[in-house]
Every structure is written in structure tokens, then in C-alpha cells.
Amino acid sequence: MTIAHAKNIVFILLGSAITALGLQFFLLPNHLLDGGVTGLSIIAAHLSGWPLGVFLLLLNIPFVYLGYRRLGGTFAAYSTIGIVMLAILTSVHFNHGFTDTPILAAVFGGMFVGVGVGIVIRYGGIIDGADTVAVLIDRVTVFSVGEAIMTINGLIIALSGFVFGWEAAMYSLVAYFVAHKAIDVTVEGLNEDRSVWIVSMNVRDIGKAINSVIEEPVTYVKESNPKDPEPHGVLLAVITRFEEQKIKAAVYAVDPRAFIVISSAHEIIRSEES
């Protein structure tokens, strides 16, 4: 086993432990859930009286196998480790958690579950297989992955209303949205970088104006050339969200008709100078 694999396993175990903390001490004592296979497992455990961990193992088996077929053995091994860890930590149920106030349980339970699941995803595994189903639905129907995930989790939370009551279902919806946002933040980080695309007849002048505001270099994707059928130029720059307004002001001071597109940059990799 390499150091990288060992590191990934350690973080997957940590993520599973954080998820179990959110379930055991916030969601489960208040009859709340956050959707997915975990939500179905909570409902099944409540109706049958069996330990939650049993259903987490059984219901995730098909998704681990599917992940093995499509994403390889390492993914399946990481996922198995995470799911088994979560199943062990939730095999004993606690009747009382850190709070009996449903809204606090929903917010903090969703946060802990989302951070835990996000850590597992970030280091190469899963502990809830519902997203795999969403991908398959996207491939064979007109629904997108996002629409499929919302539909699946909406049905699971609606089902919980018949089991735990509709007030609990509404709080579960809060927990789901908190967990969903926490997963995004954990996987992607609090990214402040933005990519800026600028289309203008004066990209060189705009590039100089931008360089007077920020230290990052700009990239001239296409130069302005009045002889071209499309004479405008295209420029790319990477900025932080705090620099957006300054960059817009600098660009429009040079060319009030410039076309600007600003979007979040998922990851910025800067090569190190030798």
C-alpha cells in the first residue's frame, strides 16, 4: 500500500465517522433523514427494528458493484471501507442526541453528514449510492443528473412523511439541503477564483488595464485584427471574487462595449517556476 492510498483510507474513515456523528447525535434521535440510500436505510431500520448498519451494507451493495464495473477496483475498495465503517458506527442506536430541537438537529445534522460524505467523495469513494442511480437515469431518460437526484431524494423524504410524520419530513428537507451544500463546499472548497473572458476590439489595452489592477498575467486567446472577418480579440484572466468590480471598471474604462463573461473556476493549477 502506497502512502497516497493510506492517506485516502484515513480520510475516508474520518469522513465516515463524521457522517455517523451527524446521524447518531442529530438526525436519528429526531427521526430525520437526508435522502439517498442512507434515508431509505433509516426508514427500513425503523420499520423492521433491525440495526441501521445492516441496511446501509445491504442497500449499498449494488452501487458498489456498479462503481466497480464503471470506475474500477480502487473506487469500489474505498467505498466498501467507508460504508463498512459507517455501518459499524451506526449499528447501535442512541435514543437521545445533542439536541431535541428539530431545526437545530436538521441544520447541524445535515452539516455533519454533508461534510463527512464530502470528505469521502473528495478522497475517492462513496457512502451513499443514490447518485449512481441518478447518473443512469440521466443516460436513459430526459432527466438531468440534478433533476434525477432531486426527484429520488424528494420521493424518499416524502416517504419519510408517512413513517415519521410530515413535520419531521419538512425538517428532513432542511437537513437534505444543508447536507447538499456542505458536500459541495467540502468537495470543491471555498473557492474564490473566477475566470474572466473578455471579447473586445481593444484586448491589448484592456490587458494592460487589468495588469494595473492585479498581478496575475492575462492570456490573449485571440488578437484584435481589423482585417479578419471577426475582428474582435479574446482575452482570458483569472481573478478572485473580490476583484470583480475593479476589473469590470478597468475594462469598461477602456471599452464600454466590451463583452465580459465571469464564472467560477473549479480549480486553478499554477505551474511552479524551476
62 lies in a domain? yes
Last residue of a domain, one of 188, 216, 240: 188
The pairing of beta strand 259-264 with beta strand 193-200:
antiparallel
Residue 256: per-residue pLDDT = 93
pLDDT in tens, 133-165: 665 665 566 665 556 677 778 888 999 999 999
Q: Which domain holds residue 209?
A: 193-264
> Does residue 168 sit in the same domain as residue 200?
no
pTM of the model: 0.74
Hey, what's the cell of 178?
444543508
**Burial degree of 3 (CB within 10 A; 0-12, 13-18, 19+):** exposed
Q: Are residues 55 and 93 in the same domain?
A: yes
Give the percent of the chain with pLDDT over 70.
88
> 271 lies in a domain?
no
Same domain, 226 and 124: no
Q: What is the pLDDT of residues 13-41, one digit of tens each?
A: 999 999 999 999 999 999 998 888 899 99
pLDDT value at residue 274: 40
Length of the chain: 274
Same domain? For 99 and 199 the reply is no
pLDDT score of 272: 55
> pLDDT confidence of 83, banded at 50, 70, 90?
very high
pLDDT confidence bin for 88, thresholds 50/70/90: very high
pLDDT at 119 over 50: yes
Residues 6+ apart with CB under 8 A from 151: 143
Among 167, 188, 209, where does a domain finish? Answer: 188
Residue 245's pLDDT band (cuts 50, 70, 90)? confident
Residue 204 burial (C-beta neighbours within 10 Å; 0-12, 13-18, 19+): middle
The answer on 165 and 110 residing in a single domain is: yes
Q: Does position 167 have pLDDT exceeding 70, yes or no?
A: yes
194-218 pLDDT per residue, tens? 899 999 999 999 999 999 888 778 9
pLDDT, tens digit (0-9, with 9 covering 90-100), for 177-198: 998 888 878 876 666 678 999 9
Domain count for the chain, please give it: 2
Q: Which pLDDT score, from 0 to 100, does residue 139 have?
A: 59
For the stretch 247-256, pLDDT in tens is 999 999 999 9
